[in-house]
Chain A
Amino acid sequence: MDAYDEDSRGPQAPDGSAGTRLPEEPPEHDPPSPPRTGVAALSPRYQVAAALALAVVAVAGCVHLLMVFLSLAPANTVTKQHGQAVQDWVYPEFEQNWKLFAPNPLQQNIAVQVRAEVRMRDGGLRTTGWTDLSAQDGAAIDGNLVPSHTQQNELRRAWDFLAATHAADNRPVGMRGSLSEQYLRRIVVMRLYRDDPTSREGVIQRVQVRSSTTNVQPPPWSRERISAKPVYRVLPWWALTSDEAAGGVR
């Protein structure tokens, strides 16, 4: 465990890490001999308190690590019996997911596309063509050393959220399903008003979102062959709230 530290000679004096502490007392002896620290410097009464603190910290640390471990481990005998306790401990602040590109990395490009029904100034109703918002994100990321979360995560994860909270027939599941719909709708409306020439000219009435999933073509040196044709998942038209239609999402 302490392989990280070949030399623990740090400053032994208490540090300035506590926001409000006052400077140390001047040393009583000259030259100052380093005062004994740790439990050894304490009388038995205080040693009990120190031992108690040590025990509490040790137990809390071990329990915490065990809970985090169980939350990360695959479903097993222990989590089947005590899953709720693990969840209660870990959520919401210690939630974590480290299945990074695992077990398999994503092998499809999922593009979110949108079209809108716009009430023009002359009163006419126009339906725009499909706009590929993910392609816009991809273009913004190209050649970018520091892609923004707005380009890399916002739409991508909003779609993941929606896909995870919707049944195969596109019906929302639970409160999160409804939240995910509102979220995705607000993203696409914001972006249409920002970039789509037709939408900017009028007032958006309804929007329709679809995803286009295309397999990443296998590497040239592998002999695999897979379809290059995109698969679409088309969601129903969504009506906007008055706030969204008025460009209230910024």
Chain B
Amino acid sequence: MNRLSPTLSRGIARVTEAALGPYQSAVIRIGFAGTWLLFLLREFPHRQELYGPSGPWGWNLAKELTDDNHAFTALLWSDGQLWFECCYALAILASAALLLGWRTRTASLLFMVGVLSLQNRSVFVGDGGDNVLHLMSIYLVFTRCGQVWSLDARRAARGAAARARGEHVPADRVGPVLWAVLGLALGTATLTGRFHDWLIPALLWTAWAALGLWWAVGRRAAWREPRTLLDVIANVLHNGALVVIMAEACLIYATAGWYKVQGSRWQDGTAVYYPLHLDYFSPWPALADLMSSSGTIMMIVAYGTVMVQVAFPFTLFNRRVKNVLLVLMMTEHAVIAVVLGLPFFSLAMIAADAVFLPTSFLRRLGDLAARARGRLARRAGLTVPAPRSPEESTADHVGFSA
């Protein structure tokens, strides 16, 4: 007991004083937002057929199903074409804002609304990739995922630098306006009885109230302590959400792995052959034939897949082994993206894997991206405002490579 309590208090100090894993949370933010953004752009020509009011999964059918299962979707608030187009456009904008880290918390809420609205509107067009994004869009709301590699971080750094030089920093206008507009929208939706379940509306209202409180408390210099308390709560929520995200990734692999162990095809080593020869999952039949020409290779891939998936959660206790498996899994997903024609599923899984990447690697990646950006901007000529040098941007641990 005596030795336990210092450990416990150290632990409490750690999870309350900082939002841990700033790079990991930023990379999954960019990963999930980017995946969904690319998906929305790719499906833009097919948006009517997938989610539109007169698509095959028509408005009435969707309404009947969601009245029964109480899933949240703003798309069914109206069967108008204009409403649908606005929602789709807003979903695109929210993904872009989250990707760039512009008003990250608000963007993450809008991102969640966009993901849930579209996916719950047409549940039968999704696959595993949509499922990952669905869950992660909810979890991301609780994280402070804009600490690095975001426009928010850049704005905060510029503000701090200006204040350090003794300059006056004008008060933020965009934030309060955004807050008021979204509050109005939320209030309208609530008063007109659009919400049927409590979970998502409660989350939205709580977040809205918390953002308002945060702003109010930040205005008064004397309210140092309430401000610190809010900061502590935000850190605790972030750290809890990060644990849930990591555990969710482990659950995905554990479920996929342990159920495979029971399958006769995974046992006899032919399992990988079959998806490669399904018409719906073989965009490159010649490549699939080439890969499955050797029974030995197929068996090694099948056994290797099961072993990696089952083992992964346990390797988290050892950094080096974990990193090796991480490379293996990301590679496998990259191969799946092409060979089985599942690019968005694979991207979402790679984004989920990225939460386990080591900080040193992520920072090197950020530096590289910042340098590449700098080179690009220089090549573009003098019409572009001079970018901050990578040295400068890494000095305050903020890479603008999003």
Contact = CB atoms under 8 A, between A and B. Distances in A.
Interface of A: 1-26, 37-43, 46, 49-50, 53-54, 57-58, 60-61, 64-65, 68-69, 72, 91-107, 109, 111, 134-135, 137-138, 141-150, 152-154, 156-158, 161, 175-176, 179, 182-183, 186-187, 190, 216-219, 221-222, 248-250
B31 interface: no
Given A7-B360, A40-B13, A98 B128 contact: yes
B262 interface: yes
B124 A157 contact: yes
B275 A106 contact: yes
Among A6, A69, A96, A219, the one with the most B-chain Cβ atoms within 10 Å of its Cβ is A219
B145 A17 contact: yes
Contact of A61 (B17, B134, B244, B260): B244
B235 A38 contact: yes
Contacts of B160: 13, 23-24
Contacts of A58: 240
Contacts of A10: 18-23, 147-148, 397
Contacts of B105: 17-19
Interface of B is mostly: helix
Q: Which bucket holds chain B's interface residue count? A: 35 or more
A18 B172 CA distance: 12
Contact of B265 (A21, A65, A104, A190): A104
What are the nearest 8 A-B pairs in CB distance? Answer: A38-B17, A16-B152, A19-B106, A10-B22, A103-B263, A20-B175, A102-B259, A221-B295
Nearest to B357: A4
A149 B270 contact: no
B55 interface: yes
A225 to B, nearest CB: 14
Interface of B: 12-13, 15-24, 42-43, 46, 48-50, 52, 54-58, 61, 64-65, 68-72, 101, 103-107, 116, 120, 124-128, 131, 134-135, 138, 143-148, 150, 152-153, 155-156, 159-160, 163, 169, 171-172, 175-176, 178-179, 197, 199-200, 211-212, 214-215, 218-219, 221, 225-226, 228-229, 231-237, 240-241, 243-244, 246-248, 251-252, 255-256, 259-260, 262-266, 270-275, 277-285, 292, 294-295, 298, 316-319, 322, 338, 341, 343-344, 355-360, 396-398
Contact of B49 (A2, A72, A92, A250): A250
A64 B218 CA distance: 32
Contact of A39 (B232, B246, B255): B232
B94 to A, nearest CB: 12
A148 B237 CA distance: 36
Contacts of B212: 20
B206 to A, nearest CB: 12
Contact of B397 (A9, A69, A141, A142): A9
25 contacts: A4-B357, A4-B358, A5-B21, A6-B358, A11-B153, A14-B234, A17-B104, A17-B147, A18-B211, A19-B104, A19-B175, A20-B106, A20-B214, A22-B172, A92-B70, A101-B260, A102-B260, A104-B266, A142-B285, A149-B125, A149-B127, A150-B50, A161-B124, A186-B56, A190-B49
Contact of B169 (A23, A69, A221, A222): A23
Contacts of A147: 283, 341
Contacts of B355: 4
B80 to A, nearest CB: 15
A98 B240 CA distance: 23
A162 to B, nearest CB: 10
Contacts of B233: 50, 53
A26 B224 CA distance: 12
B126 A153 contact: yes
Contacts of B101: 16
A25 B69 CA distance: 47
Nearest to B243: A61
B283 A144 contact: yes
